[in-house]
A and B are shown apart, each in its own frame.
Chain A
């Protein structure tokens, strides 16, 4: 596991609560007050109304595998040992997409549409990176 040498997230005023929640083992999203819809990445306003009327909520942590790629070419020195590594595009139950990695399974086991659940196996110093693996309640 080389999550410790991953690039650190660029923390800003909008995503800081997200990363703090990850540190507690929770996946959180902003939810628009007017429409009840969630959005990601974190932003000052809801993309559905353009207004700063939203609240943080804890997401279910479940979603489906929308697509994935396997990197054979390296771009990050701290990820050299992981090559080739998968990046998964996961559509969360609440709607937004996350780009993430697979944990507890390999790219060979990946099937588009499969149900996945979040876990926090580690990350660069001071951060817990959400990763996704097979959902326990998967059929």
Chain B
């Protein structure tokens, strides 16, 4: 992005017009793994049914449908018998989980739909989806893959701030510890140590295997409706209190030279939009496609100073039962499964409904989600009082 381009994010102090008006009424997550016997449609149907059962609704109650990573919305709507008033397929990158959520909230508040099903289905593992290779601007130089872009940023972060690969260890280990508390996590029962993290196989150096997320088959569905309607449904509603987003596309062709710090910082407006601050939040969901994004997110949203992310997480800050900011309690993308933000947001909802068993954050009343990408986003969910 040209350095003199101003960001247009909502100013601090502005209340979000949609504050607490839209709610999660149901969620569903499938098992995650290698399931060649089905596909993203089959998995999506499974997640949708789980979410409908959770909300106590039938397909006929759905009048808005947003699908993601499922090839076509027509076929999915056809097979699930949904004839919505509002229907949309959103783009593949994981930043579109938050974007889809915001679109659903807008559709509900403008009366385009009353109850929206958002369905994400991915069969990346069984079809051996490769996040790299192919033709791109930089392929003649062998530059490819989101992991390598993050590795490029992380090396520069090391140079600028003195961070090291060891600063990422507490992130990977904390999320693996959480996965060991989550019987549904792909890495349940497979603990790792800081030493394992440091010695893992290099992929795009300076990043190593345990800095990368896990590609799997699986699906996630959310049912969203107005807060008012959600009150009469089966489960306690979880309210969408605030949402902030700032894009920065100017460097889409090369890794960003700023760790998305300016556009993430703009998302600090999420607190004013939600009407409450960081102190009122009990836990976090951070988009962890690669371990450095967790530190970029914490720095960008102001949990610590820029460059201080490594020191901030070193003593177990992200670890449930130990630190102030239990993060990705399901195991996240690194140790539960890469469900592109959809699963992490579902976990935030579960925390706010006290559904998390051994990995429950005590007295969770509000959770914050952060996604560090060129579409930087943060949102705050809270338990309805």
Contacts and interface: CB of A to CB of B under 8 A. Distances in A.
A75 B130 contact: yes
A58 interface: no
B183 to A, nearest CB: 31
Interface string B100-142: 0000000000000000000000000000001011011111111
Given A41-B253, A72-B202, 5 more contacts: A72-B204, A72-B205, A73-B203, A76-B139, A129-B140
A77 to B, nearest CB: 9
Contacts of B136: 10
A66 B205 contact: no
A97 B141 contact: no
Contact of A68 (B135, B142, B152): B152
A27 B153 CA distance: 25
Interface string A91-120: 100000111110000000000110000000
Contacts of A101: 141-142
Interface string B256-271: 0100000000000000
A87 B201 CA distance: 18
A69 interface: yes
B143 interface: yes
Q: How many interface residues does chain A have, given as a range?
A: 35 or more
A72 B133 contact: no
A76 B133 contact: yes
B151 interface: yes
B353 interface: no
Given A69-B151, A70-B205, A72-B202, A10 B135 contact: yes
B339 to A, nearest CB: 23
A112 B204 CA distance: 17
B132 A75 contact: yes
Contacts of B72: none
A121 interface: no
A7 B140 contact: yes
Interface in B33-64: none
Contact of A48 (B2, B137, B139, B255): B2
B140 A112 contact: no
23 contacts: A7-B135, A9-B139, A10-B139, A41-B137, A41-B253, A67-B152, A67-B156, A67-B159, A68-B155, A70-B204, A70-B205, A71-B148, A73-B203, A76-B139, A84-B202, A85-B142, A87-B152, A89-B152, A89-B255, A99-B143, A100-B141, A112-B155, A112-B159
A89 B140 contact: no
B205 A69 contact: yes
Contacts of A89: 152, 156, 254-255
Contacts of B255: 67, 89
B140 A123 contact: yes
Contacts of A41: 137, 253
A66 B156 contact: yes
Which of A9, A99, A112, A127 counts the most B-chain CB atoms under 10 A from its CB? A99
A106 B156 CA distance: 18
A24 B138 CA distance: 20
Given A67-B155, A73-B203, A76-B142, A97 B254 contact: yes
A36 interface: no
Contacts of B148: 69, 71, 87
B205 A84 contact: yes
Nearest to B131: A75
A109 B129 CA distance: 35
B141 A127 contact: no
Interface in A116-139: 123-124, 127, 129
A48 B1 CA distance: 10
Interface string A6-26: 111110000000000000000
Interface in B191-229: 201-207
B250 interface: yes
Contact of A82 (B132, B142, B145): B142
A71 B206 contact: no
A129 B254 CA distance: 17
A98 B253 CA distance: 10
A59 interface: no
Interface string B148-168: 100111011001000000000
A120 to B, nearest CB: 12
Interface in B236-293: 250-251, 253-255, 257
A91 B152 CA distance: 13
The 4 lowest CB-CB distance pairs between A and B, nearest first, are A75-B133, A67-B156, A70-B205, A7-B139
Contacts of A45: none
Which of B132, B133, B142, B255 counts the most A-chain CB atoms under 10 A from its CB? B142
